A and B are shown apart, each in its own frame.
Chain A
Amino acid sequence: MAKRLTLLFFVVLFLIIGLVPIAAMFLKTIYVDGHFTLRLYRALFDSSREWGLVGNSVMLAFFVTAAALSAGIPLGVVLSKTDLPFKSIFTFLFTIPLLLPPYITAIAWSYWVKKEIWFFGLPGCVLILSISFLPIVMFLTMAYLKSVNPGIEEAGKLLSGWFGVLKNITIPAIMPGILLSAVLVFLLTLGEFSVPNFLRYKVFSNESFTQFSAFYDFNAATVSTMPLLLIAFVILLFEAIFLHRKTQESYGMTPDSDRFLVIELKSSKKWIVILLSLASFILIVLPFAALVREALNLGILREALEKAGDSLLRSISYAGIGASILTVIGFFLGYLIYKKALPGWRGVDMLTLFFLALPSAVTGIGLIGFWNRPATNFIYGTPAIIILGYVACYTVLTSRMTISGLSQISSSIEEAAEISGIKWWRRVFGVLVPLMKRGLLASWLIAYIFCLRDVGVTMAVYPPAHDTLPIRIFTLMANASGSLIAGLCLIMILSTLLPFSLFMLSVPKKGMA
């Protein structure tokens, strides 16, 4: 009973934070002055300009997904399945852009390529967002590769070389993971507005923000989010029906295999090291080095620190609080999904993913519309609204990490406690949490980094004088000097990478569960 009530509480909490505001927002657009009407939508569908922007958004998302897959899959294979030296260094370097708001990568590149014409518009957006989202493909490829039953690869090795085995057996076996990463990259690109804004490429996600921030027209802003929401919904429906089922099938996956086949690169090893060194140097090191060079001046850094001021402390504290709440909610929802403990568990799983994929403008506008009333001003007018935004957007990260942690604990561990008469709460805190503590710490860190780098939802909901550092940089970008922006970006990078590096150094290679 305690188990069901607790899980139900967290489901209801998540629905109130995430789903109810969005549903209420859309009801308002079809019930105007107490009457049902589609007037606002008709205006949207009649506008050719809007559809042109949707086309731009879809084209950008398509190119970014294609580029991230083309580079991310081979990278994931090389970094997890081969005997390449310096794998952890390469993994760290390629992960950096994911840890930062994508526009900071764009700023870093702008210091490197200066005012090159090609960098602005679609090519620059594709380049920056591909670099930013490539780690998603890389990590999902690596994670799924670890779960492939080595037996099916050995069976292939009796018949073919590694290239044939990878092409015909391993990659098809991890296809659900690859498709999931493609879905995520596509949807995150679709909702991204900061990079297209910086690089002057018109996309639809900017439209909602313009309607909202420039005209403060809630209904128009809500209606303008509809095309992106529909695309996100259709793609996630595809994920839920097709990919989810595939992932559930055995598909050669084994959760606790103690064997992992490693590809010996032999003579090609040095060439791959050279290739990856060049790629990471050109794509990551040089642009960020250019940014650091621009910022490395004591006067500039002092000014940047002054400008960043309390927004840096706010960023860190909001991210810390958000990550802690996310870890708790994600743990219980992850438990619910993994153990299928309540009917509708799949719906909860889908919904958490849906909110990550939902353009942040949609979530932000929904939250403001719902909480902006006198009775709830204690939420709307305080940082609580930012935390709610984080919870709505990022619960999927912590719930999926919990699922991953739970899958590494034999179900008999909890059953043994259960049969010994230990109540659920004690089983959770006495058995599961201690076994998963490293995984939960990793879950907190990931949530912290995503809250810290958030621009989209914070931009929409932050109350006056509660802006975070990424928002402050974003708003100063138009008027401040290049060096000052570089200084602010450097502070942002350090506040993200320091805890991440400390965590990576403190956690042994094994035992991340």
Chain B
Amino acid sequence: MNAAEFKSVGKSYHGKEVLIDFSLAVEKGERIVLLGPSGCGKTTVLRLLAGFIAPTSGVISITGEIVAKDGRNFKEPEDRGLGMVFQDLALWPHMTAKENIEFGLKAKKIPDKERQERIRNIFGLLQIEDKINTKPSLLSGGQKQRVALARSLVLLPKILLMDEPLSSLDFELSFKLRAEILNLQKNFGFALLYVTHDLEEAFSIATKIVLMKNGRIDQIGSCGKMKQYFENIKTR
């Protein structure tokens, strides 16, 4: 069974189609990167899967269960079992790093003992133990990234959605965090749906790349196949 699946999904705003006939299966443990220029519909795919918007047409399912179909969402975002790291990270500015992470655990009614255990573990894993009581405004860019990651991962999501999470970081830090994301994915085993417009970043993360253009899938394939595709474009 696939972790998630899009079947002929379309989305339009005020009559303008931003996603057209989009079909994609996300297998368990797979790392899919959605690649493409601004406005090609990459983020819309993540927001549809998260349940923030409903598809105008088509079907979206998560672990075999239909969560949205033809203009209606059947499952609220909080009930979909997903994690998401936003482009601007969307850390809650009035909460400390720990409170940011604990909020979801409390919402899921995880018992206090287990909650503290999970928080300790995730802070240790991401090496931000000393920032546990710090508010986001006092964290560096890399530390904010780690808190955002910790917030998503502490709930053990089936699928992690990442919307250009490294776009605001310098190359060195971005490179380091990519390695950490891959490690975390290996440890936790979640499927990853990752949005970027950076080719190099896409190849370093993905097991499969979806190239999007004007709201449609232009190309889809493994890293090897897509490397070949881009080589061909260069030599053409």
Task: Indicate whether A157 sits within 8 Å of B52 (C-beta atoms), given known contacts A172-B94, A250-B93, A252-B93.
Answer: yes
Which of chain A's residues has its CB closest to B73's CB? A264
Whether, in the assembled complex, B107 has its beta carbon less than 8 Å from a beta carbon of chain A, the answer is yes
With contacts A149-B88, A151-B88 known, is A158 near B93, CB below 8 A? no
A507 to chain B, nearest CB (A): 22
Which residues from chain B contact A172 at a C-beta distance below 8 Å?
92, 94-95
Q: Is A67 among interface residues, defined by CB-CB distance under 8 A?
A: no
Q: Does B120 make an interface contact (CB < 8 A)?
A: no
Binary flags per residue of B84-113, CB closer than 8 Å to A gives 1, else 0: 101111111111000000011001100000
Shortest beta-carbon distance from B125 to chain A in Å: 20
A262 CB, min distance to chain B CBs, angstroms: 11
CA distance A157 to B151 in the complex (A): 13
A-B contact count (CB 8 A): 73
- From residue 181 to 227 of chain A, which have CB atoms closer than 8 A to chain B? none
Q: Does A152 sit within 8 A of B, measured CB to CB?
A: yes
Q: B92 near A156 (CB under 8 angstroms)?
A: yes
Q: CB < 8 Å: which of B51, B86, B94 contacts A155?
A: B86
Where chain A touches its partner, the secondary structure class is helix
Question: Considering the complex, which residues of chain A in the window 142-185 have a beta carbon less than 8 Å from any beta carbon of chain B?
Answer: 149, 151-152, 154-161, 164, 168-169, 172-173, 175
Tell whether A51 is near chain B: CB-to-CB under 8 Å: no
Q: Does B17 contact A (CB under 8 A)?
A: no
B60 at the interface (CB under 8 A from A): no
- For A159, A160, A164, the residue with the greatest tally of chain B CB atoms inside 10 Å of its CB is A159
Q: Is B215 an interface residue (CB 8 A)?
A: no
Q: Confirm or deny: A251 has a beta carbon within 8 angstroms of a beta carbon on chain B.
A: yes
A155 and B93 within 8 A (CB): no
Minimum CB–CB distance for A305 against chain B, Å: 51
Asked if residues B76 and A161 are in contact (CB atoms below 8 Å), the reply is yes
A159 touching B78 in the complex, CB below 8 Å, given contacts A154-B52, A173-B93, A251-B94: yes
Cα A169 to Cα B104 with chains together (Å)? 12
Q: Is the CB of B86 within 8 A of A159?
A: no
Say if the beta carbon of B83 comes within 8 Å of chain A: yes
Q: Which of B133-191 contact A (CB under 8 A)?
A: 137, 151, 155
Is residue B82 contacting chain A, with contact meaning CB distance below 8 A? yes
Using CB atoms, name the residue of chain B closest to A158. Answer: B77
B155 touches A159 (CB 8 A): yes
The answer to whether B137 and A249 touch across the interface, beta carbons within 8 angstroms, is yes
The number of chain A residues with a CB under 8 A from chain B is 22
- Give complex CA distance A301, B231 in Å: 87
Return A167 CB to nearest CB of chain B, in Å.
Answer: 11
A159 in contact with B103 (CB, 8 Å): yes
Residues of A within 8 A of B83 (CB): 158
In the complex, what distance in Å separates the CA atom of A155 from the CA atom of B149? Answer: 12
- On whether A161 and B94 interact (CB within 8 A), knowing A154-B86, A155-B151, the answer reads no
| A19-34 with Cβ < 8 A to chain B | none
CB contacts (< 8 Å) of B95 on chain A: these are 172
Query: A159, A161, A175: which contacts B104 (Cβ < 8 A)?
Result: A159
Determine the distance from Cα of A250 to Cα of B94 in the docked complex, in whole angstroms.
10
A164 to B104, CA, bound (A): 10
Residues on B with beta carbons closer than 8 Å to the beta carbon of A249: 93, 137
- Whether the pair B77, A157 counts as a contact (CB closer than 8 A) is yes
Contact A152 B107 (CB under 8 A): no
- Nearest A-chain residue to B135, judged by Cβ: A249
Q: Are B50 and A175 in contact (CB under 8 A)?
A: no
Q: Which residues of the partner chain A approach B92 to less than 8 Å between Cβ atoms?
A: 152, 155-156, 168-169, 172-173, 252
Tell me the minimal C-beta distance from B50 to chain A in angstroms. 7
Task: Give the chain A neighbours of B86 by CB distance below 8 A.
Answer: 151, 154-155
A156 to chain B: which residues have CB within 8 Å?
92, 103
Which chain B positions have C-beta within 8 A of A151? 86-90
Q: Which chain B residues border A250 with CB–CB below 8 Å?
A: 93, 137
Tell me which residues across on chain B come within 8 A of A175, comparing CB atoms. 94
A158 to B103: give the CA distance in the assembly, Å: 11
Contact B107 A164 (CB under 8 A): yes
Instruction: Collect the chain B residues with CB atoms within 8 Å of residue A160's CB.
Output: 78, 103-104, 107
CB A287 to nearest CB in B, in angstroms, measures 39
Q: Which residue of B lies closest to A164 (CB)?
A: B107
Interface residues of A in 127-151 (CB under 8 A from B): 149, 151
Determine the distance from Cα of A164 to Cα of B93 in the docked complex, in whole angstroms: 16
Is B94 touching A157 in the complex (CB atoms < 8 A)?
no
Select B108's contact among A157, A159, A261, beta carbons within 8 Å.
Answer: A159
What chain B residues lie within 8 Å of A251 (beta carbons)? 93-94
Contacts of B51 in A (CB 8 A): 157
A-B complex: 5 closest residue pairs judged by Cβ atoms:
A151-B90, A159-B104, A160-B107, A155-B90, A157-B77
Query: Apart from A154-B86, A156-B103, A158-B50, what are 8 other A-B pairs with CB-CB below 8 Å?
Result: A151-B87, A154-B52, A155-B90, A155-B91, A158-B104, A161-B78, A173-B92, A249-B93
Q: List the interface of chain A (C-beta within 8 A of B).
A: 149, 151-152, 154-161, 164, 168-169, 172-173, 175, 249-252, 261
Q: Provide a sorted-by-A list of 7 A–B residue pairs whose CB atoms are within 8 angstroms.
A: A151-B87, A158-B80, A158-B82, A159-B104, A173-B93, A250-B137, A252-B93
